[in-house]
């Protein structure tokens, strides 16, 4: 693989925004099951985005 600085910046942005989203979800007063579902949705979106950018599974 030929990774450059843009790849590392994108990875940091994806992981940072996912961490921020999960942290915000955990701070909001909601039912625990709703928080769990939303955290799972965020993590699923991150994994799908990561896979698409890595190998282009939707291309």
pLDDT in tens, 46-55: 999 999 988 8
Task: Return d(Cα 39, Cα 24) in angstroms, integer.
Answer: 10
pLDDT value for 57? 80
Question: pLDDT of 2-42, one tens digit each?
Answer: 788 998 999 999 999 999 999 999 999 899 999 999 999 99
Q: Is the pLDDT of residue 1 over 70?
A: no
Domain boundaries, the chain: 5-55
Contact, 59 vs 38, CB < 8 A? no
Please give the structure tokens belonging to residue 54: 């890595």
* pTM of structure: 0.82
**Position of tokens 């939303």?**
38
């Amino acid at each position: 693989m030929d990774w450059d600085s843009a790849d590392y910046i994108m990875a940091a942005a994806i992981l940072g925004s996912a961490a921020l989203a999960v942290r915000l979800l955990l701070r909001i007063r909601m039912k625990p099951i709703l928080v769990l579902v939303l955290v799972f949705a965020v993590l699923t979106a991150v994994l799908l985005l990561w896979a698409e950018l890595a190998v282009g599974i939707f291309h």
